[in-house]
Amino acid sequence: MKCGKSMSRIGQKLILIPNEVTVKVNQNEVEIAGPKGSLKQEIRPEIKVVVNDGKIECQRRADDKLSRSLHGTIHSLIVNMIQGVKKGFSKTLELVGTGYRVKKEGSKIILSVGFSHPVEFKSPEGVQFEVEDNNIIKVSGIDKALVGQTAAEIRAIRPPEPYKGKGIRYQGEEVKTKPGKAGKVGTTGFGGGE
């Protein structure tokens, strides 16, 4: 219940439209355009989006639980769309492991991450890849959800393993490693040779 109330409080806030961003509302769809591109979002009938005097207001048509939760969600989506078309979003991944490397060819990346063959990953429409130093992948685009999903799919190709932390991780991600089996064997494997 608390979550619904706090989300609807977020929904009541007016959203300022930056100078370089334009917003159009066509019945149940919002289109937002800016320097980086344009995004469209279908709006549920429970919520009405009104543009007035350089501001966007999300209005609930009813006060039921669903409408309250949608109120905050749609408000957040619109805020993210404005940020996306104005500045864009990005996530950075890092390859950790001996011989692990990545190269870019056109719109795809080719990963060498310890398998018998390289893995190809094509960028979805609206997402760009940049590769630095053979082990850093920057995933960027204007759609926050798509950028996040694409980065998660790349990480899932070879998630960090729990012993040495080798694999693909988000830059700055802390990987908790377990003590290796060899360490355990070493402590118990001596002194029993009678």
pTM for this one? 0.80
pLDDT confidence bin for 7, thresholds 50/70/90 = low
CATH of 2-86, picked from 3.30.70.330, 3.90.930.12, 3.40.50.2300, 3.40.190.290, is 3.90.930.12
| Residue 136 contacts residue 171 (beta carbons within 8 Å) | yes
Quick one: pLDDT at residue 178?
A: 81
- Res. 109: pLDDT tops 90: yes
- Res. 192: pLDDT tops 60: no
Fold held by 89-170: Outer Surface Protein A; domain 3 (3.90.930)
- Res. 194: pLDDT tops 50: no
pLDDT, one tens digit per residue, over 125-175 is 999 999 999 999 999 999 999 999 999 999 999 999 988 889 999 999 988
What dihedral do alpha carbons 135, 141, 144, 150 form, nearest 10°? -50
pLDDT confidence bin for 2, thresholds 50/70/90 = very low
